[in-house]
Structure formats: structure tokens, C-alpha cells
Amino acid sequence: MRTQVGIIGAGPAGLLLARLLHTAGIDSVVLESRDRAYVETRQRAGILEQGTADALRAAGAGERMDREGLRHDGIELRFARRRHRVDFPTLTGGRSVTVYAQTEVCKDLIALQRREGGPLLFGAEALAVEDAATDRPRVRYRHRGRERVLECAYVAGCDGFHGVSRAAVPPTVARTYERSYPYAWLGVLAAVPPSHDELVYARHDRGFALLSLRSPTVSRLYLQVPAGTDPAAWSDAEIWDELERRLETDDAWQLARGPLTAKSVTPLRSFVHEPLRHGRLLLAGDAAHIVPPTGAKGLNLAVGDAVALARALIAAERGDPAPLAAYSADRLRRVWQAERFSNAMTALLHRPPDATPFDDRLQLAQLDRVATCRAARADLAEAYTGEPFTGGDGDSAVP
């Protein structure tokens, strides 16, 4: 089989890239190792930056998001039993975020691809990217028990951190930067309406807590726990009790409890692979970078990669190679800014296991500055809501 762009991975980056290429008249084939049910049910991020929501609308994938997604105009920071709201629109010139789960984004893009786009093969395991440095790269993959070859003009590696795409960049060319954090997130889904109408980020001497949501009837909550924690070691009652301790305030606010329907532990890590391009292999999404979830940047970076890569590939097909040549450097500027913000939010809100009383007071002083200084709040709000996918790095919401 042959196509213009071979896309490995049917996550948000791969699916949106396929959609944008299709609308520009460029053929692609998407290979996904998992089945459709897995892709449409795996729990991932749920906060869409303003630019991400705009990009999905521009791609024709925003109808259900606009109907069912929840616009949020701020977040709440809690520390020392006090509550402090960060108002996004007044600090950013009108930007906001949308609560809409990654699973729903994938469902929408899969439906569009199946209805209007090119081949989307589930259960197609990519085995290797070959001849990436030539003008005829190819992907070896296994589908329905047979090994096959997809010949391409370009390969987009959107196959996540554990995929095969990144391995096709020679060690003499690749550079990696990473950090592991000494704590993780114990995350739960609860069949109970959220206890607050916006996300709550709480710093507590016992550790970080996050009150989030997936819908008006489903809460998503997280606790900082030691790295390597077994989620089964926490009973439902222990989780609710600990959330109550870390989210408590001096006013009448109360945490609503309900049945827990899912429980998992997510390690926190940062990772960047450079470059994002080797020959005709282009990396995007988690194949290229990982951020700790505190800043809600993972999904949004993947969408930004897809938008920029689609723009670059479309320009190359039309005779302009410059955006493709600049893809890696341009995106890495955005990636490192997201890493900076995600690391800063993580350090601001989590208590390290070796924290001293001096460290605790510094952390509280930093939070107090955000609460009392408009410039500090504006810096947080601008980074959280994200820059539009336009501007100096060449991104465009509509390729």
C-alpha cells in the first residue's frame, strides 16, 4: 500500500493531522495498534486550551464539543485553607479553556475519518520506520496476522512515548532531556456532580490535590502520592477522607462524595526528544514530548503539533519547503515553554518528600504572590489558556 503521508498512531495528534490533510486533498493512512474501543475509552486529559478548541472547530470537529463541553473562565488555587480565583478572560484578553475529555475528541475525529477520510486501520501494529532519511520512507506493520509495508512520501510518528517512530532517529542525531518526579497522581472517577464549578488546585502540607470534572455528573479527582503507589492500596473511604483534608477551607465549602468508578496512578515525568524531524520522519505528540499533567499541556501540545505539521506538509506539497524545514525548531520553542510552565506549576503545588519548613514557607510565599499580584496571575492565566496557534512559530489554526 502507498500513500502520501503515513500516520502512526490514532491519538489526537494523528487523527487531527489526518483530518487536516484530508481537507487539503492530501492522502494519508492511519495505523493504530489498538482496537477502536480502546482508543475511544482510555482516560487521558480533559482541558482544551482556547487554541485547541478553535483548531477543532476549524477542522469541522467542534460540533459536539460546543454542545457538551464546559467552558471554564478560571481556576481556583487553595492553600492555607483559603480560596483564590484566577479569572482567565480579564487577565488574557478574553481567553478561556474548555473541559472536554480526550476520549471525546478522539471519538469525534474517528467518526469524521471513517465517514469522510482515508484508511484508518485499527489493530495495525507498526513494527519499524525504514529509510526515513530517503525520499521513499516506509512503515513495516502487522495487520490481521500478516506483515505488510506502507510506502509514503512522509511518515508522521504520532504513536506515543512507547511507539516505534522515535527509534528511527539515529542515536548520533537524537538528544533527549528528561526528569522524573518523586511523586505520582492517584486519580479517580466518581459518579457524583463536581463540588465546584471550576477546577481547584490545592497545596497542602500532606500533598497536592486536584478537583476536576468530566461532565456535570462525573467528577475527576487526584491526590499526590509517592511514586510507585499501588492504587489498590487505597480504599474508597481513604481516598475521600484524604481529598477532604487537602481541599478543606475556612468557609462553608463541602466536598460531595459518591461511588468511585475508576482508580489509577499516573507517574509524573518530563521528556523532550530533539529533533522532531529526521529526513521525512516527523514526530508529534507524546512520541516527541511528555509533560507532567499539572499544567494541562499534553493534549494541547499534541494538537499544536498536528496543526503545525499539517500546515508544513500542505506547504511542501504546494512547493514551499520552508515550513517543513522549520517544523522542529518552531515546535520545540512551544514545547519548552510548555515544559517550563508545567514544571513551575508542579513545583508550586506539590510537596516534595524531602521538603523542609523553609521550603514550605517559600512555596506559600509564591502562592501568595499569585493570589495578590495581578502580573503573577496574568502570567499563570496566559500560560494556562495557551497562545493561539498563530504567530511567530508559523502555526496556523487553519492550514
Residue positions annotated with a catalytic role: 72, 201, 293, 297, 384
Q: Which three cell numbers stand for residue 31?
A: 495505523
For residues 111 and 121, what is the distance between their CA atoms, to the nearest angstrom?
13
Within 13 Å, how many C-alpha atoms sit on residue 252's CB side?
Answer: 0
Within 13 Å, how many C-alpha atoms sit on residue 218's CB side?
Answer: 13
Question: Which residue, among 386, 175, 188, has the nearest Cα to 289 in the 3D structure?
Answer: 175
Strands 120-122 and 28-32: parallel
Tally Cβ neighbours within 10 Å of residue 9.
28
For the chain, what is the radius of gyration of the CA atoms?
21
Q: Which residues pair with 200 in a beta bridge?
A: 76, 211
Question: Which residue, among 310, 314, 287, 286, has the nearest Cα to 300 in the 3D structure?
Answer: 286
Alpha helices of the chain — where are they, by DSSP H? 12-23, 36-39, 50-58, 63-68, 88-92, 102-116, 236-247, 298-317, 322-349, 357-372, 374-385
Residue 235 sits at φ, ψ, to 5 deg, of -80, 165
For residues 54 and 70, what is the distance between their CA atoms, to the nearest angstrom?
14
Angle between helices 357-372 and 374-385 (to 10 degrees): 90
Alpha helices of 232-373 — where are they, by DSSP H? 236-247, 298-317, 322-349, 357-372
Distances (CA, A) of 68 to 115, 296, 300, 372: 21, 20, 19, 34
**Residue with cell string 484508518:** 120
Q: Which three cell numbers stand for residue 176?
A: 533527549
First and final C-alpha spacing in the chain? 27
